[in-house]
Structure 1
């Protein structure tokens, strides 16, 4: 069976923890930041886990993760 290719866009967006969970960045922190509160921007800076229903799709994009 041939080797599978990793989707490079997914490789740049997702990371795996030691426990095997997939982490992602939060949305809404790229522009229009002047009207968002510091607390909100700080909260958006943290990583979040990928929802369990989306996890299967991410694992298909990154077979050797």
Structure 2
């Protein structure tokens, strides 16, 4: 059976931690900062672990990253 292909968009945006959690960047930081509160921008720094339903979808895109 041939190897499965990884979705290129997923491998650029997410990574899987050693415990199996999917890590991605925080949402809401691309544009429109003027209307967002300083507290929102502070809390949206860095990366976060995706929720379980979202992580299941992303793991389907990255078959060898489990």
> TM-score w.r.t. structure 1 length?
0.82
Deviates more, 1:32-41 or 1:7-16: 32-41
Post-superposition, which runs of at least 4 consecutive aligned residues in structure 1 deviate over 4 A?
A: none
Q: What TM-score does the superposition give when structure 2 sets the normalisation length? A: 0.81
Aligned Cα RMSD in Å? 1.4
Unaligned runs of 5+ in 2: none
Number of residue equivalences:
65
Task: Give 5+ residue unaligned stretches, structure 1.
Answer: none
Equivalent in the alignment of 2:59: 59
